[in-house]
Amino acid sequence: MRVRLPGTVVAAALLVSTLACAAQGTEGTPPPGRQANTPGWAFSATGYYYSLRNQDDYLLTIATAERGPLLLEARYNYEARDTGSVFVGWKFSGGETLTYEFTPILGAVFGETQGIAPGFKASAAYGIVDFYVEAEVLRDSKVRDDSFTYAWSELGFSPAKWLRFGIVGQRTRAYQSDRDIQRGGFAQLNSGKLTLGLYVFNPDDSADRVAILSLGVDF
């Protein structure tokens, strides 16, 4: 049985209530551009449940391992359905009042879609405002004309350590959409090592609206 937007919103509301109670008084997870450098390995995993109109819902997963500036990342259902990808990157960061991070990445894509994917991640933060963008150019090894540029960007505001919200945009072909660049809003709650997020793309178009419920954990 497929879960539609109302079911996703109900589930999000229940999780938000639980996480909001736990979030009070915690340090929370810093937004992009404010990640602390920790010794040893740091691991994270995030699942994104996509609720679509007139298309099958699906789950996108991302797992990362970081040690100093080294980034290792694995994704599933990101570039296309039934497709996996692995990336390696090297992070450059700095700043005090205005902080920044820039990470060139290179990946291999396999499964239903195959190819190589050079790209980058970048973020900056000043006060309660931060900006994050990740992009990659998939060079399809089977059908060259199917090469595609993927992008995801966020402009976020963090009035409290446990709350972040803002606007989001993306370019993808993992599902069908009438819009080349999709826009919407998001909200995140952070509690310790857990992050719960709700994203809504194309809120002004009921036929093309997409809701995404995410849950991330840091190890």
The pTM of this model reads 0.83
The total domain count for the chain is 1
Question: Residue 190's closest CA among 3, 46, 91?
Answer: 46
DSSP strands (E only) in 91-181? 92-94, 98-111, 115-126, 129-140, 148-160, 163-171
pLDDT in tens, 91-142: 999 999 999 999 999 999 999 999 999 999 999 999 999 999 999 999 998 7
Residue range of the domain that includes 214? 5-218
> Mean pLDDT over all residues of the chain?
87
User: What percentage of residues in the chain have a pLDDT greater than 70?
Assistant: 83
**CATH number for 184:** 2.40.160.40
pLDDT, average across residues 56-76 = 97
Residues counted in the chain: 219
Q: Helix H segments across the chain?
A: 5-23
pLDDT in tens, 154-205: 999 999 999 999 999 999 999 999 999 999 999 999 998 999 999 999 999 9
Phi/psi-derived region of residue 192, left when phi > 0, alpha when psi is between -120 and 50, beta in every other case: left
Helix (H, G, I), strand (E, B) or coil at 9: helix
Say whether pLDDT at 89 is over 70: yes
- Specify whether the CB–CB gap between 201 and 186 falls below 8 A: no
Helix (H, G, I), strand (E, B) or coil at 152: strand
Q: Comparing 166 with 146, which gets the higher pLDDT?
A: 166
pLDDT, average across residues 72-84 = 97
What's the pLDDT at 151? 97
What's the pLDDT at 128? 97
Say whether pLDDT at 12 is over 80: no
Main-chain phi, psi angles of 35, to 5 degrees: -70, 135
Q: How confident is the model at residue 143 (pLDDT cuts 50, 70, 90)?
A: confident
Say whether pLDDT at 21 is over 90: no
